[in-house]
Structure 1
Amino acid sequence: MRGEAPISFANSARPGFATPSPSPSPPASPVPAKPPDLPFLDTSTRARTAPQLSKGSTSSRRCKLLLLGTGGSAAVPDIACVTDPQKGCKCCLDTVGNPRSKNIRGNTGAVVRLPGLREGDEDKTILIDCGKTFREQALKFFPKNGLRKIDACVLTHHHADAIDGLDDLRAWTYKSAIESTIPVYCTRRTYYEIRASFGYMVSKAAASGSGALPSFEWHVMPDDQDWEICGVTFTPVPVHHGQWFTTPPRPLIALGFLIDSSVLYISDVSYIPEEQWTRLSSYLSLPTQNGLFPSSPRQLPRLQALIIDSGAALRLGPSHFALPQAIATSRRLGALRTYLTDLGHRTTHDLWCAFGREFGRGRTSRKSWHARANGAQATPAWRVRDEREQQPPAEEVYAGLEARARVEDRELWIERALEAVEQWAGGVLPGRWVRPAVDGMVIEWESPPEEGLDEVETLRGESGRGGERGGWGETRVWDDEYAYE
């Protein structure tokens, strides 16, 4: 196809795994019956099977994840709040005239920074999503972190807060200002949606105006195979992110990514299908339903950090997890650290932190305390959930909390948050480290070592054991935001 940007379609078969059902929803725009002509086929990007961590199969190295944005599609602050000082929420008003406020949040997005595989090799920079606020986030955080070249861009889905900043990448590629082209990795669905909405990003034949265009090398990837990018493994995890308004409704599929078998990044999710839990268990050591890991030494690594959507605050939304679902996911994964992302306004960073500290200390709600005093049985650490399950009505979950409070009732909010978590996930487990993600923070981890992966460690604390810092003997993850707490 004349003027078509380079594109490759990877093979989608993977032995040993059932292929997840792709999004059956119709495209937003017409899609050709067959893929376009393939002017370029990259055979260096191959999918592979789950890692076999035998001796010598993995060399330990330090990798970094810079969180460019940790807010929802509307970002924070909200214009309706900052223009109404009488009724605006405390979260938004804190940002007025305060450029260092941790309540300023751009669209969710991140940068993976990888050291060179060999001495003398340059570090690699992989961008995850490129949404509406990408340019301002890049201007703020690229110079600060010594970033310049983008070696690859990985897209989770086709919504505006994940792709609408792609046009700004022309500053990198136009006249080879920084680099001549940027490889972009995405699913077939995302590629087709971009081609339909922004045809000039795929074919110069669709361009107009001055011709100042971004230059991309497209890699259309399957969602049931590992993606090898710049020497690191991205394992796609297809999840539901709301639904298409069809009859009957069908799930919209977005991708989370297990990076380096160490960090799981899921920025947009409303449900994780059971087949994906089965798949994750072939990459990670997961706890049993009593909150314990197997007694024998683990042959697979334990998840170091989970970055998880909590955009619906305290009650599950139609397209986003809330705090209870984020906590339940963390428990089922046995993540050592959990960072909440996709956060909206109305709840300040300080309030999220206050909850995290109380939760990590093992605090329970007053309702839970009375239930235990009356002989209530302990609940599992996690259980399988049906996608149709819901929490109590919003008026019950948010009872007593004002929608736009200029003064936050910290104690009441924490109590309501604990109640919501207990109703959904079943009690509070000590040793659960949870904090809000922050724009510009850096999470650093070591790749799984060649041998001696992790020692056996329990999640449930008994007789006061296993507080917030329980299990740190196997920690391979750090961050620059909460290091000194």
Structure 2
Amino acid sequence: MAAENHHGGRSALIFLGTGCSSAVPNAMCLIQPSDPCHVCAQALSIPPDQNPNYRCNTSLLIDHCGSDGNHSYILIDVGKTFREQVLRWFTRYKIPRVDSIILTHEHADAVLGLDDIRAVQPFSPTNDIDPTPIYLSHYAMESIAVKFPYLVKKKLAEGQEVRRVAQLDWRIIEESIETPFLASGLQFVPLPVMHGEDYICLGFLFGERCRIAYISDVSRFPASTEHVISKDGAGQLDLLILDTLYRTGSHNVHFCLPQTLEAVKRICPKKTLLIGMTHEFDHHVDNKFLKEWSEREGIQVQLAHDGLRVPIDL
């Protein structure tokens, strides 16, 4: 395929969403505003494309420009706000399709947009199209088969009508750093992390020229995973994209800012962008704090925002 993307011959990361599962603005702040929330009020009053405090479910689009100049588009997670993200950011950045999908886990904010994948596939009322490869763990596959049986089963029962649905080619990956996989020509290394002590979620390490780790849902790093992405371990990351739910305190299944910054100091990447934020974060105010922290610690950290496009050499 020819390189359709108007940004030419370089890869990029596009942050389709940087918010928590309930997204920002938080609905409760708007329907019961007994204690007015500045961040949520602003998120509703300013157009989202001009407002970094408007946050959809966490999701990343990798625009991978190959050595032949052709672009492929790899989507990490397809949450509840996927259709909104397509309308907002696929149109802005002229993203024509999705070539591969990777899932971190099977929670609602990572998978409930799967039905809308058909909106970015060629139209066929009889589903006569090539399915989009989708990479996920065995555990996630079992859960999604219950949530979306019509997206998983291959054959219709006798007499069952054909209905247009997303066409997906389910590909099981291992929850192991020892078992990398290829998606649209780009290699990914699974990074198992704890998302609460009863649950393993996957992050991913990718990129040859630049080493990038994407970790959206984490409460603790197993030692083997931290080694792979740390400066004192397997080598310094060029970019770490990391979970941070609340500005203060702690949470049982997510990093909050204190734990996030401690992890950043241990891992010591060249640059970190934070994702997964609730309405506790005010983008401009907290990025000012993070700039001061970065200057003091010598590690660049900032909040990402929806629609952020980062050109990068993969």
TM-score (norm 2): 0.88
Structure 1 residue 273 displacement after superposition: 0.7
After alignment, is 88-97 or 197-206 more displaced?
A: 197-206
Secondary structure in 1 matching 2:281 = coil
2:249 matched to 1:315? yes
| Counterpart-to-counterpart distance in 2, 1:446 and 1:437 | 19
Query: Taking structure 1 as reference, are residues 254 and 169 closer, same or farther at Cα in structure 2, changes over 3 Å only?
Result: same
Structure 2 Cα separation of the partners of residues 350 and 84 of structure 1: 25
Q: Which residue of 1 aligns with 2:183?
A: 229
Structure 2 counterpart of 1:416: none
Return closer, same or farther for 1:206/1:86 CA change in 2, 3 Å cut-off. Answer: farther
Sort the Cα spacing of 1:311 and 1:66 in 2 relative to 1 into closer, same or farther, 3 A.
same
Q: Any runs of at least 4 consecutive aligned residues in structure 1 with deviations exceeding 4 A, and if so which?
A: 176-179, 204-210
Structure 1 CA distance for aligned equivalents of residues 10 and 248 of structure 2? 34
Shift of 1:113: 0.8
Shift of 1:229: 1.5
The answer on whether the counterparts of 2:246 and 2:280 sit within 8 Å (CA) in structure 1 is no
Residues 129, 167 of structure 2: 8 Å contact kept: no
Pair 1:446–1:301, CA change in 2 (3 A): farther
Match of 2:299 among 432, 435, 439: 432
Query: For 1:81, which of 29, 40, 43 is the aligned residue?
Result: 29
1:96 and 1:229 map into 2 onto residues whose CA distance is 37
Aligned-partner SS, 1:331: helix
Counterparts of residues 10-409 of structure 1 (less than 5 Å): 62-99=10-47, 100-119=50-69, 122-173=70-121, 174-175=123-124, 180-205=130-155, 211-224=163-176, 225-243=179-197, 251-260=198-207, 262-278=211-227, 280=228, 286-287=231-232, 302-362=236-296
Decide whether aligned partners of structure 1 residues 63 and 206 sit closer, same or farther in structure 2, where only a CA change above 3 A counts: same
- Classify 1:269/1:93 alpha carbon distance in 2 versus 1 (closer, same or farther; 3 Å): same
Give the drift of 1:356.
Answer: 0.8
Query: How far, CA to CA, are the matches of 1:172 and 1:358 in structure 2?
Result: 41
- The structure richer in strand per residue is 2
More helix by share: 2
Matched to 2:187, the amino acid is T
- Runs of 5+ consecutive residues of structure 2 not aligned to the other structure: 1-8
**Deviation (angstroms), 1:309:** 0.4
Q: Which whole-Å CA distance do the structure 2 matches of 1:78 and 1:178 have between them?
A: 40
C-alpha contact 1:237 1:256 (8 A) present in aligned 2: yes
Once the two structures are superposed, residues 345-397 of structure 1 have per-residue CA deviations (whole angstroms, 9 ceiling, x without a partner) of 133112211211221232xxxxxxxxxxxxxxxxxxxxxxxxxxxxxxxxxxx
Aligned in 2, Cα 1:271/1:265: closer, same or farther, shift over 3 Å? same
CA distance in 2, matches of 1:85, 1:240: 35
Equivalent-residue separation in structure 1 for 2:10 and 2:199 (angstroms): 34
1:276 shift after superposition: 1.6
Name 1:442's counterpart in structure 2: 309
CA distance in 2, matches of 1:228, 1:352: 36
- Whole-Å Cα distance in 2 between the matches of residues 77 and 146 of structure 1? 26
From the superposition, tell whether residues 118 and 83 of structure 1 become closer, same or farther in structure 2 (CA, over 3 Å). Answer: same
Larger Rg: 1
Q: How far off is 1:85 after superposition?
A: 4.5
Alpha-carbon offset, residue 333 of structure 1: 1.9
| Superposition deviation, residue 97 in structure 1 | 2.4
What secondary structure does 2:45 align onto? Answer: coil
Q: TM-score, normalised by structure 1?
A: 0.58
Q: Return the alpha-carbon distance in structure 2 between the equivalents of residues 258 and 313 of structure 1.
A: 26
Residues matched between the structures, number: 296
- Taking the aligned partners of 1:178 and 1:435, their CA distance within structure 2 comes to 44
Aligned partners of 1:108, 1:214: CA distance in 2, in Å? 21
Deviation of the 1:195 alpha carbon? 0.6
- CA offsets per residue over residues 153-202 of structure 1, 9 Å max, x none? 00000000000000001223341899632110011111111012211110
The 2-side partners of 1:240 and 1:285 are apart by: 17
> What CA distance in whole angstroms lies between the structure 1 residues aligned with 2:248 and 2:312?
29
Separation in 2 of the partners of 1:158 and 1:206?
A: 25
Deviation at 1:434, TM superposition (A): 1.1
8 Å contact kept, 1:149–1:178: no
Structure 1 gap ranges (5+): 1-60, 244-250, 289-299, 363-428, 448-485
Find the residue that maps to 1:212 and give its secondary structure. coil
